[in-house]
Amino acid sequence: MKTFFKGTKVLSYKGSKRSQKSIFFTLFSVFLTLFSFSQEQDSTKVNQLDNVLVSAVRVTAKTPVSFSNMDKKEIKYRNLGQDIPVLMNYLPSVVTTSDAGNGMGYTGIRVRGSDATRVNVTINGIPYNDAESQGTFWVNMPDFASSVESLQLQRGVGTSTNGSGAFGASLNMLTDNYATKASGEISSSYGSFNSNKNTVKFSTGLLNDHFEIAGRLSTIKSDGYIDRASSDLKSYFLQGTYVGRTTLIKALVFGGTQKTYQSWNGIDEYTLEEKGRRYNSAGFFTDENGNERFYDNETDNYNQDHYQLHWSESWSDKWSSNFALHYTKGKGYYENYKEDADMADYGLNDVGAITTTDLVRQKWLDNDFYGTTFSVKYKEEKLDVILGGGWNKYEGDHFGKVIWARYASQSELGDHYYDDFSTKRDGNIFAKVNYQIVDKLSFYGDLQYRNVNYTANSWETGLVDDTFDFFNPKAGLNFEINQKNTLYFSYARANREPNRTDYEGGNVKPEKLNDFELGWRFNSENFQLNSNLYYMGYKNQLILTGTLDDVGNPIRSNTDKSYRMGLEVDATLKLSDKFILRPNFTLSSNKNVDLDVEGQNYGTTDIAYSPSVIAGNIIVYSPIQDLHISLLQKYVGEQYMNNVELPSAKLADYFVNDLNVSFEIKPKSIFKSIMITGLVNNILDKKYVSNGYMWDVYPYYYPQAGINFLAGLTLKF
């Protein structure tokens, strides 16, 4: 859900907002003009240029960081309409959840127990996390997986990157590479709960050996597993690429529009037993005749458009660079029916003795996010250096409207019952170095300085004008014992500012984290193993309390001392040409130390939403070359929904199995490829809950769907 807030109206920012946008777009236009030239193509160098886009934020096996990669080939087998977090569900230390229960609409991800606000997400090195809430709303980019070339999930602090600091993980995505030959693709899928996805993709290939235009249009619709938890999603992706001898320029425009019926209320234990797992309280009201009804437009509505311009240049065999400009426009609202609302809360005068009224409200967010990122890379035989950084600014209008009231009082159409404005400036510079000390020992160093300024004038937050200066050093060693075995050790420091909801509680402090990682990698022809021990020690960690505010945002509070430590293991075992096993597991201890809540000391307790056991496994059977049958398994141990270990706050463990089948036909004419894909989720029909929250001492749950299916057909030509 988006973040919509009350507050007092402010007008003083408007002029500067327009002028800064004008300057930004002028620079954008000048940049396009400067590079509308042609060079002769050198395919050897150009094939490496696309990696320059994310080289500043990605790592390799020589970097002492715990990470996992997914490429387009792996994504395509299960890309049937579910969100990116669901596609990542089987990676180590990952837990995913879905409000609608079937992986479409609003979905969430946690890594090492850290929620999505603490997972730094970038697209081609551009920050994606919402600047204020720090969350990631995948519903705003439906079917984005169809335009992802590859992604990398770094666990822990990871390397320095743009955007908000990583306190659990970093996820960076690279969008589609350019294609040398013209192509087209049509894919459709259909499944349970009337879920369907339709996608059309195209590429012109390289025109005149230099220019390519590629694009995608997608629609996703679903009724959802939860009652009325419907999704109506549309998205687009358009990319223009210029390829020169040493130059790669990409201009991207992508975005989406979404309308989802709200399903973020969850369901309490009593109602779950009495009315069933699929009951949804959103939109419920009692009309004037005493009839129980549901408001038919209790929906979330949002449009988001992204603009990116990248220039990657290989200056020589040793020097390369990337420079980018970006702009994101977001605008939307969610709508609620409010029964017996206090008229004074909505700026309405009493009507005689009448002080309450039924009404329909909309809470709006109209925001702009823009800036630049840059990096310069120097590479020689023993030394690899990257200098980079970025500057970004967020400007957000928050306002509310009453669009209908039983007793409208003095209101006029279009009146706002609250207005507030916020800005956030975020700048950072970093330097990274990989140095081969001797043949088998290399050193990694990473220094980042980050400056953040946040201002807001909301009724909930009060008047905020905070500036933070963070210094985040990182260092590590990578030791290659032999061709098959590698050991690494690293230390990373991270600092992080509060988000907007945190300011509602008052007296909020920034967080500090010291992350220690010790790993062993084994790599042979038929067996790969990655194991990693980690200790993450926090000062003033903003932990989830398990409760929500009045608009559904998770409430967090500082805890003085806390830690997460654990063991992560993932492997790939090739048993034969037909059988592959890919197991992983995480064993962890996640604790608050001397937890103090409102003056009461609870001692050492489990951190909320942090299961001590997470395990996954993928068994792949390929009886013939183009037929793949995969059994996907996920186990998540029990976890608490608050930090004081109330018995009622415990979520039970669960073990879920999915079956994925794909068969590709390569005809000799008309189509290059015909792929038939099937996915049966939760084949054992497990009745489980993946997420929830606490209302005082009462638990609320988000039940997930039982056995359900998706089937798809993809035609490439």
On whether the CB atoms of residues 683 and 708 are closer than 8 A, the answer is no
Tokens of 496: 């992080």
pLDDT at 551: 64
CA distance 640 to 95: 14
Q: Give the residue among 564, 565, 556, 638 at the shortest CA–CA distance from 597.
A: 556
Q: Which residue has the tokens 């705003």?
A: 140
Question: Which uninterrupted H or E stretch holds 16?
Answer: helix 14-34
pLDDT at 27: 44
Rg (Cα) of the chain, in Å, rounded?
A: 25
On whether the CB atoms of residues 252 and 213 are closer than 8 A, the answer is no
- Name the phi and psi angles at 470, rounded to 5: -115, 135
The pTM of the full predicted model, rounded to 2 decimals, is 0.91
C-alpha distances (whole Å) from 201 to each of 63, 180, 183 are 35, 15, 8
Positions in the chain whose pLDDT score sits under 50: 1-46
User: Pairing between strand 119-123 and 627-636?
Assistant: unpaired
User: Pairing between strand 485-496 and 462-480?
Assistant: antiparallel
Q: Give the residue among 509, 689, 48 at the shortest CA–CA distance from 320.
A: 48
Residue 371: DSSP 8-state: E
Q: How many CA atoms lie within 13 A of 119 on its CB side?
A: 27
Tokens of 222: 């679903």
pLDDT at 542: 86
pLDDT at 54: 72
Tokens of 51: 């990696």
- List, as one string, the DSSP characters of 441-469: EEEEEEEEEEEEEEEEEETTTEEEEEEEE
- Say which residues have a Cβ less than 8 Å from residue 402's Cβ, sequence separation at least 6: 346, 348, 359, 360, 361, 408, 411, 415, 417
CA distance 297 to 99: 17
User: Pairing between strand 169-175 and 148-155?
Assistant: antiparallel
The answer as to CATH 2.40.170.20 being correct for domain 14-716 is: yes
Residue 304, SS3?
strand
- Name the phi and psi angles at 170, rounded to 5: -125, 135
Cα angle 60-61-62, degrees, rounded to a multiple of 5 = 90
User: What is the per-residue pLDDT across 610-627, written as a single tens digit (0 to 9) for each?
Assistant: 999 999 999 999 999 999
Q: Which residue has the tokens 């395509």?
A: 76
Question: Which uninterrupted H or E stretch holds 663?
Answer: strand 654-665
pLDDT at 89: 96
User: Pairing between strand 554-574 and 689-695?
Assistant: unpaired
On whether the CB atoms of residues 147 and 202 are closer than 8 A, the answer is no
